[in-house]
A and B are shown apart, each in its own frame.
Chain A
Amino acid sequence: EVQLVESGGGLVHPGGSLRLSCAASGFSVSIYSMNWVRQAPGKGLEWVAYIRREASEEYYVDAVTGRFTMSRDTAKNSVYLQMSSLRVEDTAVYYCARLNHFSGSRRLDYWGQGVLVTVSS
Chain B
Amino acid sequence: SYVLTQPPSVSVAPGQTARITCGGNNIGIRTVHWYRQKPGQAPVLVLYDDTDRPSGIPERFSGSNSGNTATLAISRVEAGDEADFYCQVWDVSSDHVVFGGGTKLTVL
A binding-site residues for B, Cβ under 8 Å: 35, 37, 44-47, 50, 59, 61, 95, 99-100, 103-109, 111-114
Contact = CB atoms under 8 A, between A and B. Distances in A.
Interface residues of B, number: 24
23 contacts: A35-B97, A37-B99, A44-B84, A44-B99, A45-B35, A45-B43, A45-B102, A50-B95, A59-B94, A59-B96, A99-B97, A105-B31, A105-B49, A105-B90, A106-B97, A107-B45, A108-B45, A108-B88, A109-B45, A109-B54, A111-B44, A113-B42, A114-B42
B96 A50 contact: yes
A37 B97 contact: yes
| Consensus secondary structure, chain A interface | strand
A5 to B, nearest CB: 11
A50 B54 CA distance: 23
B49 A50 contact: no
B23 to A, nearest CB: 15
A50 B101 CA distance: 20
B42 A95 contact: yes
A109 B48 CA distance: 9
A29 B35 CA distance: 22
Given A106-B90, A111-B44, 7 more contacts: A45-B86, A46-B99, A47-B98, A99-B97, A104-B31, A108-B35, A108-B97
